[in-house]
A and B are shown apart, each in its own frame.
Chain A
Amino acid sequence: MIIEITIAVLVGVIGGIFSGLTPGIHTNLLVTLLFSISPFLLAFTSPLIISALIVSMAITHTFLNVLPAVYLGAPDSEGKILSVLPGHRMLLQGKGYEAVTLTVLGSFLAIILGIALTPLLLKFLPALYSSIKNYIGYLLVIISIYMIFRERKKFWAFFIFMLAGIFGMSVLNLNMKEPLFPLLSSLFGVAGLLISLKDNVKIPQQLITKIAIPKMEVVKAMSSAGIVGTFVSLMPGLGPAQAAIIGSQIIKLTDKGFLILVGSLETLGMVTSFIAITSINKARNGAVVAISRLMETITQKDLIIFLIVAFITGLIAIFLSLKLARIFSSLITKINYQKLCIAIIVLIIGMCFWLSSYLGIFVLIIGSFIGMLPSLVGIGKNHLMGCLLIPVILFFLL
């Protein structure tokens, strides 16, 4: 079985590299594809091995997706420094490699934290979930209002949150294949790339030096991740961006600490979702849904295997991320950034047409304009998550 799991981990890592590095591709898309061919795979292997492959792919994705997030879609920071994400801010200071290092460090520490918290979560998650499950909708409303009120431009934050919400709800109600692809890749992918094109961004020479890890920031970020990550794993619709904002309000962090927190929350969210399916029978993402279908029952022994797979994958993924960040850092100033952005937009349009046809292209166009609004107004892009939060809130409240 060890050889089979090793092969599954390696194949999963390859899948995770592809989905993590391609903007707009979510693990769920690859998981759906893998799930559709699983009857064929099951002729050669067991559901546990395919599940291990899914775990490895999902974990690798949470490490590798920081690379396009940092190196692509950076706006011109002049005059609107507050609305620029810390990763982009560091890239524009020539510190893209440092931003990736801090984020993947957070991701790796999150796996260790997740494993350390497993006995506690298995014991207390059911009680915690049953005490909040009737209030999930209200809690999400409170978090959304808090996000809006912390902005200087409250009206625009509210407007964009609501617009994204109506847009998301309408798109999810359209009879269209793969609605999440045009929805998310337009709001969070194409929009950022268009802003980069508009600003005619010039990426400065990137420094690849030994990074001094801010130990106190690591401790603060991981403490915050432990508190917020557990809570967020119970709340559908909330992403790492919102969780990181909540976390950084609980414990004040610098840009470096914030990056460690973002990386840790994304990976911790994935790790705790494996624990959540075992302890509270709730599937919080596509990877866990597929595992739940394949395995039918998930024992604590299976969970231990998943956590070991996650740890080994994390070791491979941290090495890969840093290696790729070095390559990206040296390439990004040599290639034409504008042409790169255009090429990625064309790739997303092609994939969108393939997956969701003409209707998907229409959604992609409208979503791209909505996605540009936060940068043009000068508020955080996290309000665009209204596209998923409002449908989830309505699901719980109505």
Chain B
Amino acid sequence: MQDSKLFKTSLIISVIGTFLILLLSEYSEVELTDINDLGKKQIETMVKIKGTVISARETPGLYILNIRDSASTIPIIIFKEETLNIERGTQIEITGKLTEYKNELEIIAEEIII
């Protein structure tokens, strides 16, 4: 294939493809879930939960919160980019990736709404 033809083909596929992926990302909004309903099937996918902070601690580089909703609790991992001032009892909504560590589910936070 000639360079100019390949360039035009690549350009068209790149623009249309990016637009399609943008649309897909817009329409794949994560739905709010009860912590109790989170299972191993959802590991490595994005989930959204809402609850109350029942404990918070720090490691170098991370904040680790425990969040409780009506029935269960789950640890939340937050990378330190900004100082996070969250006290026990704060209502919080977290969107992030569900992972497993030491046989327990946890969420790596990507979006936090206080």
Residues of A within 8 A of B (CB): 35-36, 39, 163, 166-167, 169-171, 173-178, 198, 236, 277-278, 281-283, 288-289, 292-293, 295-298, 359, 362-363, 365-366, 369-370, 372-373, 376-377, 395
B87 close to A (CB within 8 Å)? no
Once the chains bind, are B60 and A278 in contact (CB under 8 Å)? yes
Total chain B interface residues with beta-carbon distance under 8 A: 35
Once the chains bind, are A281 and B60 in contact (CB under 8 Å)? yes
Inter-chain CA distance A372–B61, complex, in Å, is 36
Chain A residues contacting B99 (CB-CB under 8 Å) are 36
Task: Return the CB mask of B91-110 against A: 1 if under 8 Å, else 0.
Answer: 00000000111110000000
Once the chains bind, are B59 and A293 in contact (CB under 8 Å)? yes
Chain A residues contacting B80 (CB-CB under 8 Å) are 281-283
User: Separation in Å of the A58 CB from the closest CB of chain B?
Assistant: 15
Once the chains bind, are A365 and B17 in contact (CB under 8 Å)? yes
B90 close to A (CB within 8 Å)? no
Task: Return the CB mask of B24-54 against A: 1 if under 8 Å, else 0.
Answer: 1100101000000000000011100000000
Chain A residues contacting B7 (CB-CB under 8 Å) are 373, 376-377
Inter-chain CA distance A36–B30, complex, in Å, is 24
Chain A residues contacting B25 (CB-CB under 8 Å) are 169-171, 173-174
Chain B residues contacting A377 (CB-CB under 8 Å) are 7
Once the chains bind, are A292 and B10 in contact (CB under 8 Å)? no
Known contacts A175-B45, A292-B59, A167 near B11 by CB under 8 Å: no
Chain A residues contacting B77 (CB-CB under 8 Å) are 293
Once the chains bind, are B21 and A369 in contact (CB under 8 Å)? no
Partner of A166, one of B1, B10, B18: B18
